[in-house]
Amino acid sequence: MCGIVGILDPAGQASTLRERALEMARAVRHRGPDWSGVWVGDHAVLAHERLAIVGVESGEQPLASPDGTVLLAVNGEIYNHRELRAAHAADVPCRTGSDCEVLLPLYERFGKDLAAHLNGIFAFVLHDTKTGRTLIARDPIGVIPLYLGKDREGRLHVASEMKALLHHCVSIQDFPPGHVLEVGGLAGSGQGASAAPTPERYYQRAWQNAEWIADSKVTAQDLRDGLEAAVRRQLMSDVPYGLLLSGGLDSSVVAACAMRHARGRIEEDERREAWWPRVHSFAIGLEGSPDLAAARVAADALGTVHHGLTYTIEQGLDAVRDVIRHLETFDVTTIRAATPMFLMARRIKAMGVKMVLSGEGSDEIFGGYLYFHKAPDEPAFHQETVRKLAQLFQFDCLRANKSMAAWGVEARVPFLDLEFLDLAMSVATSDKMVRNGRMEKHVLREGFQDWLPGRIVWRQKEQFSDGVGYGWIDTLRSVAEERITDQDLAHAAERFPVNPPWTKEGFVYRTIFDELFDHPDAPKCVPEGKSIACSSPVALEWDRRFKENADPSGRAVLDVHEDSRGRGE
């Protein structure tokens, strides 16, 4: 990951804002500890904090076009950059090894439509000094974070994390995934310095229509081939990489794909006995946790150099405040799962690994959360997958990105590769449904049953915050019960009028959040609402007991989770 910052000044006084941009950049330097860069023009300041993974020696940012008139600051990875270079970089040749530089020739050819040609995870600010135009865009799913703000003079500010905007902006908002914003130049004529930003959607797919029901016969073999191709694309790296391997289905199939690709590279490389390119995998949990045991089984089968890391409940509790500061959320689900991931990221970075592959996105695509067992019909099932994918940028993508970026590690998510996503969302909805004795994500399990041990392929879904050890969630609840009174919770809406917490655990997190992010718009950037096992609020209607047992833990789905069967009748 990297950190980007931009300040746009229509009045042409941007040169006076260099120190402000540097201060903002320092707030996101943890995302890119390898190098810092800044560019100052009449109408814009761009700053970049780099985590060097591709083109390590030549990819410093902000990047400039050959004539120096177009400047670019990017946080992301462009997985199809080689194809794009071959097709579009003849007139504006790329001069570095950075995969992100391909955005410059794409801008010359496609203007603001350039983002539609990218397969990757990204957030960028591109400034054209010839026209005074600036483009801001974010990847379709929102894997990479991006925020907008405006100061009292109406100048637009852009940053990878909200914390960079807090002390400079009177308004702050999430930049929506799959959108592009064009400001200044001809696009800004008549717009005025105080006009509200109006990002335009560039990413549209038929499957995003809630009324659309897939009926194509995508096979388990198709899914396996598609995911293997996605993993191969995302393994582009000039530095050591690793695998997050919890022992659940999603991380295990990503690891299986990665090892098939890496094994071929290792056999051709005389350095195969060195630290890299040997593939290291990482899991974390409390001593004796389900994930640690399952991850060891998967790692032994795949042949990774595995590290089963442990943490204590006390270490987790001590880290919660830092987790909230880095993740910029008070969402209960996210904080529960992010805390062990945050602790793991620090250990990963200490071992010299800068990029990891992770399994986020699969449960949203295939309906893998246990509450999907209760989906009443195909339309409801599909609509929920669409809702969950649209919300990923506020939940799992935010968690994976920011908990890793806190220590200068990049998390890549092959299930959300745009080519694979289109394939997977074309699987017949009837084949995704949990019925006729099939488990959740049956079609995905079927595709990898020959690549992994049966106890991994057919392991029941465990959410990460459960799999690290049930004692973790139970302790978080009990600590909150001791700190927050019933009266405190009853008056939560008075203290927190925007997105008030509805549990004592949520009250604790919200209190910390407000101490760290003292800005009226900060809580508006965080989702809130009742959930059952990570569901959207809409899915609470699927079972009469969901509202009574609403909790993000998978164990809350009575008679589905193995640890809850027989209870709640």
Residues annotated within a binding site for ATP: 244, 284, 358-359
Q: Is 273 exposed, middle or buried (0-12, 13-18, 19+ CB in 10 A)?
A: exposed
Feature table: binding site for L-glutamine = 99
Feature table: binding site = 99, 244, 284, 358-359
Q: In whole angstroms, what separates CA 15 from the centre of its chain? A: 33
Tokens matching residue 209: 């229509």
Is 94 tagged catalytic? no
CA distances from 178 to 2, 120, 139 (A): 19, 12, 5
For residue 77, the SS3 value is strand
Residues 6+ apart with CB under 8 A from 272: 266, 278
Residues 526, 173: Cα–Cα separation, whole Å = 10
Q: Which of 2, 94, 257, 397 is catalytic?
A: 2
Do 133 and 187 form a contact (C-beta atoms < 8 A)?
A: yes
Q: In whole angstroms, what separates CA 411 from the centre of its chain? A: 8
Residues 143, 504: Cα–Cα separation, whole Å = 29
Residues 480, 165: Cα–Cα separation, whole Å = 30
Give me the phi and psi of 382, to 5 degrees please.
Answer: -65, -45
Packing angle of the helix pair 313-327, 396-405 (nearest 10 deg) = 100
For residue 181, the SS3 value is strand
Taking phi over 0 as left and psi of -120 to 50 as alpha, with beta for the rest, 460 belongs to: beta
Kindly list the catalytic residues: 2
